[in-house]
Amino acid sequence: MLKVTGSAMPAAITLFPFTVSAAAADGEKEEAAPLHRDELSLYAAPPQQKSRYVEPEAGHLEESVATLRKTAEPYTDRCRGTYDKIKPKVQSVVRFGNDAYNYLKNPPKEFYPRAGVIGFTGVLGLFLGRGSRIKKLIYPAALMTVSASLYYPEQAAGIAKSTGDSVYDRAVQSYAALERIVKPQSKAAEDPETKP
């Protein structure tokens, strides 16, 4: 084995190539060619061997975890499906909350007095609707609707138009369904072929 001998050098000298004499470990002198510093290896590279990957055998703990995963997989898939359905709704609620917060943070002029009057009419409706559960539902809603429509007439007209259209459509559908239910029975009663 060869041994490298030398002394510590200043940092500037280490940048220049120089030769290193190698001496045998046994004390015998060998005639060696001078080596450059770049040719010396500080670490000998191990000989390249062909390696192959061997799959380690699963232990008891790994088998238990695999069994637990297979058992829980249907439940986690169901939870993931539910989460995927609920996530957009939750995001829309959060977005609505942020928008409402920003709106209330910088409200338009006279927003709070109008909201106070509309809220007061709701409380007045609760007071007037004493005695019956139906009155407690109808009076506050009706009074708040009237007071809100006084402050916001364009929005009230748009809502009334769309609500009126949907109510008309539902009434027509209900009438058609009722007609289908009643007409076959009346035709069966009038049809002479069905009589014995």
pLDDT tens profile 111-156: 888 889 999 999 999 898 888 889 889 999 999 999 989 888 898 8
Alpha carbon distances (Å) from 54 to 51, 57, 63, 154: 9, 9, 18, 76
> For residue 160, is it within any domain?
yes
Q: What is the pTM of this model?
A: 0.41
Phi/psi at 26 (5° precision) = -80, -5
Domain that holds residue 131: 107-181
Q: How many domains does the chain have?
A: 1
Residue 21 lies in a domain: no
Task: List, for residues 18-41, the tens digit of each pLDDT value.
Answer: 555 555 555 555 566 776 666 666
Is 126 within the bounds of a domain?
yes
Residue 161: inside a domain = yes
Residue 8 lies in a domain: no
Using CA atoms, how far apart are residues 196 and 194, in angstroms rounded to an integer? 6
